[in-house]
Structure 1
Amino acid sequence: MKIGLIPRLMIGLVLGILVGIFAPQWLLSITETGRALLGNLIQFFIPFIIFSFIAASIAQLSKSAGKMLTFTVSLSYIDTIIACSLAAISSYLIIPQIVEGRTFAEPGANSLPDPIVEIEFQPFMDIMPALIFAIVIGLAASWGKAKVISTVVLELKNIIDVVIRKFIIPVIPFFIFFIFTGIAAEGEVSGAIVIFGQMLILIVALQLLWLAIEYSVASAITGISPFQAIKVMLPAYFTAMGTMSSAATIPVSLRQGKKIPKMDNKIADFVMPLCANIHSAGAALTLTISAITVSLITLGELPQISLITVFIIVLGIILTGAAGVPGGSVLATLGILQSILGFNEVGLGLMLALFMVQDTLGTATNITGDGALAMMVNKYFGDRNGKEEETGVE
């Protein structure tokens, strides 16, 4: 029987803690070697992930250009940025109270041995150049000026999708094992579990709050009951929880989106698949809270407001191309966690663990929020009588 990703992550986490508590120094040298090796490999692929996701996402916009596309993409981006801002404000107010001075910034009671051997894999380019290059190539392709490059970019994204699904995702539980072995060996694990447990409660609470805000705003604009709309979208929420993939949930979200009162079927056909691949408010909210928490416990201080502002702005752009790939959101974000917030391998490993553990809920928040965006798009671009004419019922 195939074991799912979440159980494998939990097994890796628990085994890492047990090994870290009882392991002799020679075994810790081996686990530190594994941590360094996998950390380098993951960082090597980060520029490829950022470039392929962003370039392909922009290049594909040419296939359905128009005012409705611009409106939907802009709405999705604004929604994500506001969700991140809410998460950041809540984190600055609450996370310091949760951490209460327990950080990993200073060495623990036991220092870890050096890796047996260190092999560095230099990325083909730095993070920000990869992002800028992706935007340039994507825009050129979307304007119809680079058809060959457009095809290459889309094929590269398909290759990176395979790399993520077949290599990176399967090795993440091992990376988590190595990370938590080191944390446990340094005597930090009990504090980490308490902090992350409370942080995850905050994440879930804000995800549910954000869905309520999205549907309340959509209701104010359209006059449709938010409770009725959310009830319609619940099957998509629970399907997304099971698949952990917005893209895999499209058939259900599309079906439910068409059932929202006064929804034009053509609008649902356009918005629901599009937003499944560009709208990541739930994931962005999670990443913002996790980034602020991990920064505090690993670097010993909260990120500067200016840095977290830049992080949120860039995060919204990056997630536009990573929403449909399981685990793609956090993998695409590792680069800016490194370049903007200064995360080390331990910080990146903690981000992977925290995000993956709650990914099922973040995906559900993403896909359910698509219904609220569809309501707003339908208000301005939909045929209010389209559903009645097509089906004979409201």
Structure 2
Amino acid sequence: MKLGLIPKLLIGLGAGILIGFFGPEWMIRLTETGNVLLGNLIKFFIPLIIFAFVAASITEFSSKAGRLLSFTIGISYIDTILACMFGAAVAYLVVPGFALEASQAVEAATIGAPFVELDIPPIMGIISALVLAIVVGMASSWGEAKILSGAVIEFRNMIERVIKSFIVPAIPFFIACIFAGLTAKGELFGTMSVFGKMLVLILLLQAVWLITEYTIAGIVSKQNPFTMFKAMLPAYFTAMGTMSSAVTMTVSLKQARTVPYINKKIADFVMPLCANVHLSGAAMTLTISAITVSLLTQGGLPPVGLIISFIIILGVIEVGAVGVPGGSALAAIGILQSTLGFNEAAIGLMLALFMIQDSFGTATNIAGDGAIAMIVNRFFGKEDEELEQETAPENEVALNIEDARL
């Protein structure tokens, strides 16, 4: 039977702990070598991931409807930013209390030297990748730039294949190397204690944010939010199993179309779009994790100004990455390094925590799409004539999805 990502992550974590406790010196050095090599490879791909996702998303979105598209993306971005701010505020209050026992700094590669050290520098910086993605994405949507727009989308598809075929399968090995080092240095138990408490905090805040989203959506739309929430439950549990917003999109679209007060044209437009631009659950998790890991690895909470900058940039670079299992964390690695100064050990801790809860973060993203649809429906649901023109491409996508499922 083929194992899913979470069992593989747990196996990697367990193997790393065993190696750290019982492994000979040469094996610890081998895990340090894996830490260095895999860490450098992941860092090499980060600017490419940011460029591919952001440029392709701008290319695809800019060719679609104007007001409806702008409103939906704007609401999704605001919701994501507010979720991050909420998570950060709670983390600043709560995390120092349960992280005191493990607040010592965690240094990478302090036990034994790696057998091989190979530096693989990225081809560009994180901000350079983001700016280039915006420029190329905008340029590919101007005039008749069909070759450029096709190349941008194909490059995004290629990077997605790299993530699915190489980076995500390598993450359990990377985590095994990280935890072997933590165990050998005697820092395992404090770290794991914090991880357990942090996971509970993340799941609790995700539930609170879902309640907040639907409460606000009900007030704005003047409709019963429980009806939409109940309809989205199958999509929520599907997302937990697939850990992919893109894969779950067919289920969320089908469920949204069953809600009586939601215009089907709105559902056809909003659900596929939000599967790529709405990530309140994943982004909140990354924010809380970043604050906690910063305390663990750097001995203190990051300045509030840095976290605000991190959140604002995070909402941009995550566009499109939510469709790939683990894509949210991978796309965020660049700003974790450039903004918060994370090293390989800190990145490994981030990946371990995020991947273990990724199914819940994805489910929160997907379930929250229903609340976004309620708000959009309130302002655009009766504009039938305009929607005919604005959602035509999305309607075709929706019909193709339904035909494929039949």
2:62 alignment partner, SS class: helix
- Does structure 2 conserve the Cα–Cα contact (< 8 Å) formed by 1:6 and 1:357? yes
Contact 1:95–1:293 at 8 Å: present in 2 too?
A: yes
2:56 counterpart residue number: 56
| Residue matched to 1:7 | 7
Contact kept, 8 Å, 2:101 with 2:190, in 1: the verdict is no
Please state how far the C-alpha of 1:325 moved relative to its aligned partner.
1.2
Is 2:22 aligned against 1:22? Answer: yes
Match of residue 277 from structure 1 = 276
How much has 1:140 moved relative to structure 2? 1.6
Counterpart CA distance in 2 for 1:310 and 1:271 is: 28
Could you tell me whether the CA contact under 8 Å between 2:107 and 2:297 is conserved in 1? no
The aligned residue for residue 141 of structure 1 is 140
Q: Distance in 1 between matches of 2:57 and 2:298?
A: 33
Residue range with higher mean Cα deviation, 304-313 or 131-140: 131-140
- Between the aligned partners of 2:307 and 2:336, the Cα distance in structure 1 is 10
1:249 and 2:226 are equivalent in the alignment:
no
- Which residue in the other structure is 2:238 paired with? 239
Aligned to 2:389: none
Q: Give, in whole Å, the separation in 2 of the partners of 1:366 and 1:107.
A: 33
Equivalences for 1:111-130 in 2 at 5 Å? 111-130=110-129
Shift in Å, 1:143: 3.1
Amino acid aligned to 2:105: A
- Once the 2 structures are TM-superposed, how far is the Cα of residue 42 of structure 1 from its aligned partner? 0.6
1:106 to 1:31, Cα distance in 2 relative to 1, 3 A:
closer
Cα deviations by residue, 1:197-219 (Å, 9 ceiling, x for unpaired): 00000000010111000000000
SS in 2 for 1:341: coil
Q: Name structure 1 gaps, 5 residues minimum.
A: 387-394
SS of alignment partner, residue 64 of structure 1: coil
Q: In the alignment, is residue 40 of structure 1 matched against residue 40 of structure 2?
A: yes
Tell me if 1:340 matches 2:336: no
Structure 2 counterpart of 1:170, one-letter code = P
> Any conservation in 1 of the 2:84–2:287 contact (CA below 8 Å)?
yes
52-61 or 96-105, which deviates more? 96-105
**Residues of 2 paired with 1:350 and 1:144: CA distance?**
45
Larger mean CA deviation between 196-205 and 94-103 belongs to 94-103
The CA distance in 2 between the partners of 1:351 and 1:376, in whole Å, is 33
2:193 & 2:130 partners in 1: Cα distance?
Answer: 36
Distance 1:149 1:384, change over 3 A: closer
Contact 1:264 1:385 in 2 (8 A): no
1:31 corresponds in structure 2 to 31
Report if the CA contact (8 A) 1:263-1:384 is conserved. no
Please give the alpha-carbon distance, in whole angstroms, between the structure 2 residues aligned to 1:214 and 1:283. 15
Contact 1:224 1:261 (C-alpha < 8 Å) held by counterparts: no
AA paired with 1:23?
Answer: G
CA distance in 2, matches of 1:294, 1:143: 42
Inter-partner Cα distance in structure 1 for 2:183 and 2:237: 35
2:325 alignment counterpart: 326
Indicate conservation of the 8 Å contact 1:262/1:384, yes or no: no
**CA distance in 1: counterparts of 2:340 and 2:147, whole angstroms:** 36
The question of whether the paired residues in 2 share the 8 Å contact of 1:62 and 1:143 is answered with no
- TM-score, normalising length: structure 1: 0.95
Partner residue, 1:390:
none
CA distance in 2, matches of 1:202, 1:59: 37
Q: Return the alpha-carbon distance in structure 2 between the equivalents of residues 99 and 157 of structure 1.
A: 39
Q: Distance in 2 between matches of 1:162 and 1:234?
A: 29
Equivalent residues in 2 for 1:190-201, closer than 5 Å: 190-201=189-200
Offset at residue 64 of structure 1 (A):
1.1
Runs of 5+ consecutive residues of structure 2 not aligned to the other structure: 386-406
Q: List per-residue Cα deviations over 1:204-244 (Å, max 9, x = no partner).
A: 00101110000000000112122222111111101111111
Q: Distance in 1 between matches of 2:133 and 2:145?
A: 13
Name the SS of the counterpart of 1:63 in structure 2: coil
SS of 2:2 mapped into structure 1: coil
The residue aligned with 1:392 is none
Alignment of 1:341-356 (within 5 A): 341-356=340-355
Contact 2:17–2:180 under 8 Å retained in 1: yes
Counterpart AA for 1:323: V
Q: Which amino acid in 1 is paired with 2:233?
A: L
Residue 263 of structure 2 corresponds to residue 264 of structure 1: yes
CA RMSD of aligned residues (A): 1.6
**Displacement of 1:56 after TM fit?**
0.5
Deviation at 1:148, TM superposition (A): 2.3
Amino acid at match of 2:342: F
Deviations 1:272-319 (A, max 9, x none): 011001111100000000000000000111111110000000000011
CA distance in 2, matches of 1:152, 1:296: 42
The aligned length equals: 385
Residue type of the partner of 1:167? Answer: F
Does structure 2 retain, via aligned residues, the 8 Å contact 1:246–1:276? yes
Query: What is the alpha-carbon distance in structure 2 between the residues aligned to residue 325 and residue 63 of structure 1?
Result: 23
Give the share of equivalent positions with the same residue, in percent: 57
Is this contact kept in 2: 1:80–1:284, CA < 8 A? yes
Q: CA deviation at 1:150?
A: 1.5
Residue 145 of structure 1, CA deviation = 6.3
Q: Deviations over 1:110-144 (max 9, x none)?
A: 95011111011111111111111111111222333
2:106, 2:345 within 8 Å by CA — same for their partners in 1? no
Counterpart for residue 391 of structure 1 = none
CA distance in 2, matches of 1:209, 1:261: 26
Partner amino acid, structure 1, of 2:46 = I
Letter matched to residue 87 of structure 2: A
1:96 equivalent in structure 2: 96
Q: Deviations over 1:306-335 (max 9, x none)?
A: 100000000000112212111111000000
